[in-house]
């Protein structure tokens, strides 16, 4: 199954483009699932028909679905309270009634990730189009599975499960209850579920499309989004320029906006495949308006960003890790080596990555940012490097 993840700056028309993409694919005979994220039915407004928490056929070959974060959060809470019954009773805690519970921050993101996984595993559709939140939230959402898995492994390392037979003895010696088996089983289940989501996001058939209205503010937002995606090892498969004014409208007061639009589009076309969605003169509503946008549905191959390590031991005595960071600024860049991990911060974006095996036996010898690429030099540690270099 192919997956197209669509995001962009707030108000750029990403929901409209997502709906147009899905509807066009369905009309071409592709079994398509359109997954929405907004609490309000902006997706239904664009399609001209209501969508909701139950998958619903809204057109031939097209199913629309907006998962209910509240229902999912309540179900998870009920399951958690059942598994943690002994601990809650020990603490004298009273259980929460699921009807009094409202979702905590992050519940909507987890609900969407679960829906994304379920849709991929169900394999009932040929194309999944996901209307992600605005770019900052979408970037955080795409990073969530990797970060949560890292937290789980730090808090509840799998190797500790090997000592489960000793927990009753340790509990009596310490005088406090030790973590129950259900805790490790829950962590293992979450790790498995998050791993499934990561697999969907990393799949060769999954691509990211950015939607932006060509203008000065959007140009900055696109640069930031491209940089953040590169930090996650991705690049946008295409850029959809929304609400594009026709060139023949460049008269009178529209001359300035059209000229600015032309300049931004030319800049985007230097680095991206750009699709133009025309300005209809009104907010698109219904199938006919969406078809008029002429958004292509064929997605290219997943645009991954490689982080290669080059061997320069013979010439300079170092290994160099190349990390593409297009648009990065030296002053906004920060690096911290912590054990076998590297913390990379670029402006407001941060990622903690495991060092390649060869670099774990090295010390950092310097770093430079050149032509949109971060190059980190690693010198072999004589105490750890084979041959005692």
Task: Give the SS3 label for residue 162.
Answer: helix
Report CA dihedral (235, 240, 245, 248) to the nearest 10 degrees: 80
Give Cα separations from 109 to 39, 167, 188, 209, 340 (angstroms): 12, 35, 20, 19, 29
Q: Which residues of the chain have pLDDT under 50?
A: 162, 166, 169-178
Six token digits for residue 105: 């921050």
pLDDT at 176: 45
Please spell the DSSP secondary structure of 21-63, one letter per residue: HHHHHHHTT--EEEE---SS-HHHHHHTS---SS-EEEETTEE
For the beta sheet containing 362-370, the strands, ordered from the edge strand earlier in sequence to the opposite edge, are: 309-312, 318-324, 373-380, 362-370
The pTM is what? 0.84
pLDDT at 96: 63
Label residues 229-256 b or e (16+ Cβ within 10 Å = b). Answer: bbbbbbbbbbbbbbbbbeeeeeeeeeee
Q: Does this chain's domain 2-69+103-292 share its CATH topology with 309-380?
A: no
Strand partners, 34: 64, 129
Six token digits for residue 57: 């056929």
Task: Give the SS3 label for residue 115.
Answer: helix
pLDDT at 69: 67
Contact yes or no for 319/363 (Cβ under 8 A)? no
Tens digit of each residue's pLDDT (9 = 90 or more) over 168-189: 544 444 444 445 566 667 777 7
How far is 327 from 331, CA to CA, in rounded Å?
Answer: 12
pLDDT at 85: 64
Question: What architecture (CATH level 2) is domain 309-380?
Answer: Sandwich (2.60)
How far is 358 from 88, CA to CA, in rounded Å?
Answer: 46
Domain ranges of the chain: 2-69+103-292, 309-380
Q: Among 62, 73, 4, 70, which Cα is nearest to 28's?
A: 62
Give Cα separations from 50 to 44, 264, 349 (angstroms): 5, 35, 36
pLDDT at 170: 45
Q: Among 146, 122, 135, which Cα is nearest to 199's?
A: 146
pLDDT at 331: 92
Contact yes or no for 235/205 (Cβ under 8 A)? no
For residue 136, what is the enclosing H or E element?
helix 135-155
Q: Among 122, 304, 67, which Cα is nearest to 206's?
A: 304
Tens digit of each residue's pLDDT (9 = 90 or more) over 54-108: 899 999 999 999 988 666 656 665 666 566 566 556 556 666 666 665 666 667 7
How far is 207 from 194, CA to CA, in rounded Å?
Answer: 19
Task: Match domain 2-69+103-292 to its CATH number in 1.10.10.10, 3.40.50.12660, 2.60.120.330, 3.40.50.300.
Answer: 3.40.50.300
Distance in angstroms between the alpha carbons of the first and the last residue of the chain: 49
pLDDT at 99: 66
């Amino acid at each position: 199954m192919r997956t197209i993840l669509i995001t962009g700056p707030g108000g750029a028309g990403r929901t409209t483009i997502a709906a147009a993409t899905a509807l066009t694919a369905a009309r071409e005979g592709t079994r398509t699932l359109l997954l929405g994220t907004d609490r309000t039915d902006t997706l239904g407004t664009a399609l001209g028909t209501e969508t909701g928490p139950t998958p619903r056929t809204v057109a031939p070959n097209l199913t629309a679905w907006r998962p209910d974060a509240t229902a999912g959060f309540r179900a998870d809470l009920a399951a958690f309270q059942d598994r943690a019954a002994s601990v809650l009773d020990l603490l004298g805690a009273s259980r929460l009634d699921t009807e009094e519970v409202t979702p905590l921050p992050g519940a909507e993101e987890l609900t969407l990730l679960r829906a994304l996984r379920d849709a991929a595993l169900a394999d009932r559709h040929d194309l999944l189009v996901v209307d992600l939140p605005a770019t900052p939230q979408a970037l955080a959402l795409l990073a969530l599975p990797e970060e949560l898995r890292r937290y789980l492994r730090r808090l509840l390392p799998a190797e500790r499960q090997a000592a489960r037979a000793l927990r009753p003895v340790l509990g009596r010696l310490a005088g406090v209850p030790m973590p129950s088996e259900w805790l490790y089983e829950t962590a293992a289940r979450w790790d498995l579920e998050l791993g499934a989501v990561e697999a969907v996001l990393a799949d060769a058939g999954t691509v990211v499309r950015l939607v932006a209205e060509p203008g000065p503010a959007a140009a900055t937002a696109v640069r930031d989004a491209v940089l953040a995606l590169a930090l996650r090892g991705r690049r946008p498969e295409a850029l959809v320029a929304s609400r594009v004014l026709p060139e023949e409208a460049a008269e009178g007061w529209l001359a300035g906006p059209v000229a600015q639009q032309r300049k931004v589009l030319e800049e985007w076309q230097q680095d991206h495949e750009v699709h133009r969605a025309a300005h209809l003169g009104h907010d698109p509503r219904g199938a006919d308006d969406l078809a008029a946008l002429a958004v292509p549905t064929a997605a290219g191959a997943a645009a991954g960003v490689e982080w290669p390590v080059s061997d320069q031991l013979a010439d300079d005595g170092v290994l160099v890790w190349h990390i593409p960071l297009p648009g990065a600024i030296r002053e906004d860049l920060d690096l911290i080596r912590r054990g076998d991990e590297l913390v990379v911060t670029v402006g407001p974006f941060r990622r903690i990555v495991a060092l390649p095996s060869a670099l774990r036996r090295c010390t950092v010898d310097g770093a430079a940012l050149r032509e949109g690429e971060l190059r980190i030099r690693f010198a072999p540690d004589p105490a750890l490097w084979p041959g005692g270099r």
